[in-house]
Structure formats: structure tokens, C-alpha cells
Structure 1
Amino acid sequence: MTDSPTPAETIRRRGGLWHHLDFRRLWIGETVSQFGTMVSQLALPLVAILVVHASTFEVGLLTTFETAAFLLVGLPAGAWVDRMRFRTVLIVNDLIRAVALGSVPLAQAVHALSIEQLYAVALVTGVSTVFFDVAYQSYLPQLVDRDALVEGNAKLQASESVSQIAGPSAGGALIQALTAPYAVLVDAVSFLWSAGWVAAITSRPPKPERKPDRHLGREIKEGLSFVLRNRMLRSIAMCTGSANLFNTIGFAVFYVLLARDLHLSPGYIGLIMSTAAIGGLIGSLATSRIAARLGQGPTIWISIAVSLPTGFVAPFVHRDWTLYLLAAAFILFWATTVVYNITQVSFRQGLCPPDLLGRMNATMRFLVWGTMPLGGVIGGALGAAIGVRTTLLVAAIGGCVAVVPVFFSPLRRMRELPSYVPDGETMSPLAERAN
């Protein structure tokens, strides 16, 4: 027995994860990558609208290709990632995304850019994002103690929010200065930067042991079973999946409203998006205090309940003072959505046994992001059939049902959520009654 502090205790005494070198490297790489991603999220639709002159349906279809990978490879990705070193998965998929996005300005330079190439780039980057995100959420519990997961997720979410603030405005300026195809190059470079920082991480857990009887189908089933048999995880999946469906229906036509109907410049669109993302930073900084005051379970359902009605602003926006109202709605939406995401993702990571992390995260991504390709198709089709504004209104109305699963789950009453215990008792008695 010794009184010497453990490394984790030393880190906490010195100021938390600020002094965790490997976490800081992951944090820096992800922050820069997120900044570039914010540029491309604005640039790719504008490439389709302004350069390729895509129709409303084609722009919606681009959203479908961006998210189709979560439906197509979401489940097997988790089983594959659990067989690999998470760090290697992160680096490889950063490099793949850099090459795919780098092809956009190259094609534009030789006058060969087409909507088909944008679809291909969106699909390839989407597949790589599936693997990256599954490995990324599974790697964090290997880098930090489980009691530091909320802090780690909050810091990473804060960086994402800062990127959302600076990225779109910088992206709008870059698009106006370089044109949209060449602005995508910034994102490609950011993924190279991210790969470099992840490669510098010194913590390298051993490669998972190869089981002689391993079977892909059985491993996928284990991940599905872990999520679907737990009532709390099941309710979170239903809530997030339905919210993502209707959010994507609206997002599929949102840039068409701003760029084509309201004739806003790329710089102005970027400014609106940046102002809105201030809410994400507020939410990331406030999550721990909100969860401490309300309790972890109530924080999940209250935050999503507050975020959903903000969708009713976009259908009624015009080129006047209502643009300020739109920015305010985005601030509230992102603040509450980030609180919801940090709380539920930290709960999932803390609840799951280490050998199931990849499959659990992949299963959740499949269930909650697998609705987004369908949302892109529906949004594009509705936008072409009934108009952009009516489509946004349909999305806002439909999105309000997302809170129902978590409101009627045990989460509503649980101030403290259960976590995994290495001896096999994964849940508290209260949590067991919730299954």
C-alpha cells in the first residue's frame, strides 16, 4: 500500500486534462480538423449550387451521400475497428479524407468538376468519417480515466464549437477569395494536420487479441444486443435518430434558402453560421454545471426538449431583421444540443465494457446517423415538390417528437447514471430495473 498518487490523480491535481500530453495531441489535431470540416460543410453545397449549378433535389442528394456511409457500413465498421488499433484507424482515415477532398480543387483546375464527383467525394469522406468517429469515441476511454470522460468530451466539444464559430466565417471569406472548390483544399490540409498530431500520441495500447473463433456477424450482433437490450441506450438512440432525420430534411434545403432564395453571399452565410455556433461553445462550457444541478438523466431530456422548437424560425426567415432571429435560434439550438451530446456520449462511453466500445459506438452511429441519408432524400424531394420553406416547416414539426423516447425513459428520474465496473457488475440496481 502506498500514498503516492496515481498518474490519473496527478493529472487531476495539476488542472485536469490540460496537462495530459496524449489527450492534448488528440485535442489539437481534432480541433484543426474540425476547423477545416466547417469550411467544407459550407463549401461543398456552395460548389454544387454556384459552380455545378445543381438543382434543389441534387443538393439534397449531396447531403444523402455525405451521410449514407453510416447506414451502409456503420455496423460492420464497429466490429472491424474493435479488431484494430484505434490510433492507426484515425491516421489512415484522416489521410483518405485529405486525398478525397483534395481532388475537388484539382478537378476544378482542369475544368472537370461535376456533381457526380461531388457525390463520390461525399461518399468516400463519409465512409472514412464513420471509421474515424467510431475509433475516436472508442480511443478516448483508453487515453483518459472514465471519471474524466465528461471533461474530455467537453473540451473536445468546446474545440468543435470554436471551429464552428471561426470556420464558417473564414470559409465564407475563403470562398469569396478563392472560390468554393479551392476553399475545400483547406479542409484537405487540415486532415493532414490531424493525422500528424494523432501519429505523435505515445499511448499505444496493444492490438486486440485475435480470437480464433471470431465471426463478423456474431460481433455485430453483440454490439446491437448491448445497445438494444438497454432501455436507456435504446431511448437515446430513438431520440437522436428521429431528431437527426428531421434536422437533415431541413438542412438538405437550408443552403438553397440562403444562397438561392435570399441571395445571400457566401461571406454572409458563413457569418450567420459562425454567430449561431457560439451556442455550441456556451453549451460545452456549461454542461458539467448543468448536469450537476439538474442531474445527468434530466439534463439529457431537458436539453433536447429545449433545442427542438428552434427549428420553427428558419421557414419564416427573410432578408431583414429575421436573420438576427435565425442567428439567435441557432445559438440556443447548438447550446442545448451540445449539452445533450456531451452528457449522453459520456454516459455511453462510461457504461460500455472496453472490448465492446467500437461496436457500441458503431451501433449507435448506425441507429442515429443512419436516418440522415433518408432525410437528405426526403428533404431534396420535398423541396422540389412543395418548396423550400414548406419543407423547413415540415422538418420543424416532425422534429418535436424526438424528445418523447427519452422523456418516457428511466433517464427522466436518474440524477446519476450507471457506469461499467470491471468485475462484471455493469449497472446499479436502479439501472438494472431500467432494462
Structure 2
Amino acid sequence: MKLREHRSFVRFWIASTTSSFGTYITTLALQVLVVSNMGGSAVDVGWVSASRWLPYVLLGLIAGVLVDRFHRKTVLVVTDIGRGMILTFICFMSITEVISIGLLMFLLVLFGTLSLFNDSAYQSFVPQLVPRPLLTRANARLEQSSAVAETSGPAIGGGLVSLIGAPFALLFDALSYLFSSVLIASIKHQTSKKVKTGSLGQQIKEGLRWVYQHQYLRPLALNTHAWFLFHSMTMTILVSIFLIELGFDALLLGYVLAAAGVGAVAGTSLSSRAGVRFGIGRAMAFSRILYGPAVILMALAPAANNSDSSYIALMFVIIGQLFYGFAMGIEGPLEMGYRQYVTPSHFQGRMNATLRSINRSAVVIGAPLGGTLADGLGFKTALWISIGGLILCGLWFSLSSMRKARIEDAEI
């Protein structure tokens, strides 16, 4: 059976694609709003960005329990409407010039809280829309849309901000969330089994035990936490290298980062076939190993001393970005599909929230750690440290029990 025959999933995919584009537009519009409209500094931009992710660190495990207690479609609809209303409020407050950095941060903490619950329900909702054998393919379609949005969303956002201004660009995203809520509300799906009532602490422990005592989920989770730490370090250091050592301007930086999105689109196109042919574990192990060499290519890019070295540096960086994005595209749908396949319905919210919250916590640690190492040791030394971490993650994954994991062998 083909995915397009599942009309509920098609509606969900359209809703997800629409909101994904809106999310990348909002990310750029908020940065412009802080700097250009509000006269903020780079530090203000950092605090505003961090405020969106703070709820993931503080409330992630609680969100998983609550999502398992409620109908996931209801959570998705309510959180989409709520996020649309918050962005509309920010737009009108910006137009009337009554917004401040502190108030914006407060509103974005609320926005991030709704996004946390939406993300937990979103990842747990897919198994209710398609049969389990189609989970990897369904996640590949969702990842493809996300990769396209990541590639073109910032460019669209830049055009919108230039054309109508940052506040109205946020309003555009608000409309995308409202459109998404209408589509999801119209979805007919098989309802999930609700979690039996119990203490919050007990249910959090049940979710943690499920993830960290599972034969394959445990090594997958621990390795992914470490990967997020070194990935966030790497991305922080690379952007500084591109702008300072290689002399890229903002426009060229955007094109370079978009190369990873192109690679991700290619990777997601092959993800399902790679999982079937080689097994999910081996295909993911290949991806984890590929990250290190991809960043090594970028680390070897020569400093921009003349036009020839600039072209060589650009070639090294683009090829490295393509491979890095390709690895992410291969493993993303496989990891999500496997997690959803082996996890019972009543654990889906807690499983997804547990992994997402700890992964986001690793980002909160890794990004400033990368910047600190770069300031103290130099960009290239710090980058080679993060490369070493990515290589260790690849070797660790390849030697773990997860390497042998196959969907067809999983117990449900």
C-alpha cells in the first residue's frame, strides 16, 4: 500500500510542511526584529533564541507524560492555534512599538512550551496514521519536507522580511500554524490507548525505563545524546570559521548552509531503501561514521588569501556540507521510524519527549562549549576536538548492539 492512499497522513504531511516553512521564516524574522526593529545586540539575539528552547530542558519529561494522557490530535490543534496567536500578538506589539526584549523572551518561552508539546504529540501521532511497516517511509516524506524547508525557508523568509518587514513575516507564520490546525482537526485517525492515571513521577520513571532499558533504544539514545553535544559544538565553531577565517559574507553563508539541506533531501530519498537493503542499524552506523569525514573536509578548507584559495575553500565547504546533510537525511527517518515501531502506543509521548528533551539539553551545553573552546584554543583546534567527538560517536554506534537492529526483527 502506498502512502498517498492514507488520506489522513497526506493531510498531516501538508500541515507539517506548511508549518515547517513558517518555522524557518520565524527564526530569521525574529533575529531581524531584535536587531533592526528593536535595536538589540548579538547578546539579545542569543537570549531570545535560547528562550525558545528553555522549555525543552525544563519541561521535556513532563510533556511526554501529559501527551500520553490526552488525545494527540487535540494537543496538535490546540498548540498550533496557540502558537499562531502568540506570533500574531508579537506582530501587533512590534507594529505599535510596545514590545521589549524581556517581554519578547517571555512570549517565546510560552511559544517554546507549546512547541514542546506539539513536537511530542507530532512524533507520537504518525503511528496512528499509517501501518507500522510504512513508518520509515512516512518519516522519510516528513524529513524531506523539513529538509526542503530548511534549504529554502531562510531565503523565503529573507524575501518576506525585505518586502513586508519582520513583524508581518511573523504574521505569515501565524497563518501557517492556523492553516495547519484546520487540516489536522479534519484528520480521521485511530485513537491511541491512554495511559492509566498515576503519579507524574511514576509515569516519568516508566518512560525513562522504557528508553534506557530497551536492548536497542538504550544504545541509540545514549549515542544520539553524545552526537547532539558534538554536533552543536561543530555547528557553532563552523559558522565562526566561515565568517571570520574564510571571509564568507552573510549571503554566501546562507548558500553554504543550504548545501546541507540539499544533501538531506538526497539522503531522505534513499533512506527507506537503505534501511531495507542493509538493515536500519547498519544504515544508521554508516551515517554516524560519515559525519566525521564530512567535517574534516570543511576543516581542511584553506584560508581565503586570494581568489583561487577562496574557490578551493568554498568547494571543500560545500562538499562537506552536502555529505553532512546526506548523513542526516539517511539516518533521520530510520531512527524515528524505528523508535515509533518498537514503542507501544501508550509510551510514544514519553519516549519522544525523553529523547528530545535530553538531546536539546545537550545542545544547550554543546553550543556554548564550542564557542568557549574556540575562544580559548582557536577555531581549528576546537573544531578538531568536535570532529574527534563525532568520530568516536560513529565508532561507538558501529560497535553497539544497535548496529544489528532490523525492523523485521523488532518485537511490538
Is the structural similarity TM-score above 0.5?
Answer: yes
Q: Tell whether the 8 Å contact from 2:25 to 2:157 is kept in structure 1 after alignment.
A: yes
> In 2 relative to 1, CA 32–201 (structure 1 residues): closer, same or farther, beyond 3 Å?
same
**Structure 2 unmatched runs, 5+:** 305-309
Once residues 42 and 277 of structure 2 are traced to their aligned partners in structure 1, the CA distance between those partners, rounded to angstroms, is 45
Q: Tell whether the 8 Å contact from 1:233 to 1:348 is kept in structure 2 after alignment.
A: yes
> In 2 relative to 1, CA 394–124 (structure 1 residues): closer, same or farther, beyond 3 Å?
farther
Matches within 5 A, 1:204-215: 205=191, 208=194, 211=196, 214-215=198-199
Once residues 318 and 45 of structure 1 are traced to their aligned partners in structure 2, the CA distance between those partners, rounded to angstroms, is 28
Q: What's the CA shift string for 1:249-275, capped at 9, x where partnerless?
A: 34456666667885734x554444334
Aligned-residue sequence identity (percent) comes to 29
Give the deviation of 1:100 after TM superposition.
2.7
Which has the larger share of helix? 2
What is the identity, as a one-letter code, of the residue corresponding to 1:274? Answer: A
Deviates more, 1:62-71 or 1:51-60: 51-60
Q: Are residue 20 (structure 1) and residue 1 (structure 2) matched?
A: no
Once residues 282 and 46 of structure 1 are traced to their aligned partners in structure 2, the CA distance between those partners, rounded to angstroms, is 31
Q: Are residue 357 (structure 1) and residue 341 (structure 2) matched?
A: no
Q: What's the CA shift string for 1:371-423, capped at 9, x where partnerless?
A: 122234434555666677765555444333322442221122345563343xx
Count of residues paired in the alignment: 404
Once residues 20 and 187 of structure 2 are traced to their aligned partners in structure 1, the CA distance between those partners, rounded to angstroms, is 18
Give the deviation of 1:134 after TM superposition.
1.2
Q: Tell whether the 8 Å contact from 1:68 to 1:123 is kept in structure 2 after alignment.
A: yes
Q: Are residue 347 (structure 1) and residue 338 (structure 2) matched?
A: yes
Once residues 111 and 242 of structure 2 are traced to their aligned partners in structure 1, the CA distance between those partners, rounded to angstroms, is 25
Match of 2:171 among 144, 165, 185: 185
Give the deviation of 1:199 after TM superposition.
1.0
What is the identity, as a one-letter code, of the residue corresponding to 1:87? Answer: K
Matches within 5 A, 1:34-433: 34-48=20-34, 52=38, 55-203=41-189, 205=191, 208=194, 211=196, 214-252=198-236, 262=247, 264-265=249-250, 268-312=252-296, 320-321=310-311, 322-379=313-370, 381=372, 394-416=385-407, 418-421=409-412
Once residues 285 and 93 of structure 2 are traced to their aligned partners in structure 1, the CA distance between those partners, rounded to angstroms, is 46
> In 2 relative to 1, CA 395–18 (structure 1 residues): closer, same or farther, beyond 3 Å?
same
Once residues 110 and 230 of structure 2 are traced to their aligned partners in structure 1, the CA distance between those partners, rounded to angstroms, is 24
Q: What's the CA shift string for 1:358-381, capped at 9, x where partnerless?
A: 111112212322212223443455
Once residues 138 and 222 of structure 2 are traced to their aligned partners in structure 1, the CA distance between those partners, rounded to angstroms, is 25
Once residues 388 and 53 of structure 1 are traced to their aligned partners in structure 2, the CA distance between those partners, rounded to angstroms, is 29
Give the deviation of 1:292 after TM superposition.
2.4
> In 2 relative to 1, CA 124–332 (structure 1 residues): closer, same or farther, beyond 3 Å?
farther
Give the deviation of 1:74 after TM superposition.
0.8
What is the identity, as a one-letter code, of the residue corresponding to 1:286? Answer: L
Once residues 391 and 51 of structure 1 are traced to their aligned partners in structure 2, the CA distance between those partners, rounded to angstroms, is 34
> In 2 relative to 1, CA 258–383 (structure 1 residues): closer, same or farther, beyond 3 Å?
same
**Structure 1 unmatched runs, 5+:** 1-11, 422-435
Deviates more, 1:33-42 or 1:305-314: 305-314
What is the identity, as a one-letter code, of the residue corresponding to 1:239? Answer: N
SS in 2 for 1:277: helix
Q: Tell whether the 8 Å contact from 1:67 to 1:372 is kept in structure 2 after alignment.
A: no
Once residues 93 and 367 of structure 2 are traced to their aligned partners in structure 1, the CA distance between those partners, rounded to angstroms, is 25
Give the deviation of 1:197 after TM superposition.
1.0
> In 2 relative to 1, CA 43–240 (structure 1 residues): closer, same or farther, beyond 3 Å?
farther
